[in-house]
Chains A and B, each alone.
Chain A
Amino acid sequence: ELKVEQNPLFLSMQEGKNYTIYCNYSTTSDRLYWYRQDPGKSLESLFVLLSNGAVKQEGRLMASLDTKARLSTLHITAAVHDLSATYFCAASSQNTGNQFYFGTGTSLTVIP
């Protein structure tokens, strides 16, 4: 079974600061996904990373994938309050079927 760990679990940061959320996974994965979840809402797709060295950016968020280290990062630049949410990474692999294995999530609070 593919295990996914995220850290930190909770993150409180001031507006304007930068921070990185880390996502480690246990076995070979060829696909890594990042989702955002607001309280009481479902998951919104942010990024899909399909190959080693992949980097994608949208606004103040940038995601990267290092398949050799089995690590993905979600970097937040100059945080704003609207980014407050829970962020999940999920890994999948053709070898493990098409189900997603999710991390426990990182609850981000951006303080004005």
Chain B
Amino acid sequence: GAGVSQTPSNKVTEKGKYVELRCDPISGHTALYWYRQSLGQGPEFLIYFQGTGAADDSGLPNDRFFAVRPEGSVSTLKIQRTERGDSAVYLCASSAIGTSGYNEQFFGPGTRLTVL
């Protein structure tokens, strides 16, 4: 079946602009995660949704970052007043079990964000 999809694959923006990154999880997966991967680093956790609600947003670096998942499927990561330091690959993952037990996360191809 279809995997996790993310759009756009690449996004170039200017400092100070607003961007939205979209994630479409695997159908039926209730848990959705956003990670940020800087060059040469492992992914860093940003936020986790269980259904429509953000169960853990402790990884969001500041209040310029916000994410929603209004219908419990597609999620949008929103970044306001972008800064050059926001440049990274933003990865989305989904899993079938989010609250306990086995929790294998399946990752999308990522959105490469470049802030000029």
Contact = CB atoms under 8 A, between A and B. Distances in A.
Given A42-B110, A48-B104, A98 B91 contact: no
Interface stretch (A11-19, A61-69, A70-78, A100-108): A100-108
A48 B43 CA distance: 17
A48 B41 contact: no
A35 B104 CA distance: 11
A61 to B, nearest CB: 17
A43 B43 contact: yes
A83 B102 CA distance: 27
A50 B102 CA distance: 8
Interface residues of A, number: 24
The 9 closest A-B pairs by CB, nearest first: A102-B42, A99-B45, A43-B107, A42-B107, A42-B109, A97-B56, A102-B43, A104-B42, A88-B42
Interface of B: 31, 33, 35, 40-45, 48, 55-56, 58-59, 91, 95, 98-100, 102-110
B41 A43 contact: no
A42 B56 contact: no
A51 to B, nearest CB: 11
A105 B45 contact: no
Contacts of B102: 31, 48, 50
Contacts of B104: 33, 45, 48
16 contacts: A42-B108, A43-B43, A43-B91, A44-B107, A48-B102, A92-B103, A97-B48, A97-B55, A97-B58, A98-B56, A98-B98, A99-B59, A100-B45, A101-B45, A102-B35, A105-B40
Contacts of B31: 98
A106 to B, nearest CB: 10
Contacts of B44: 102
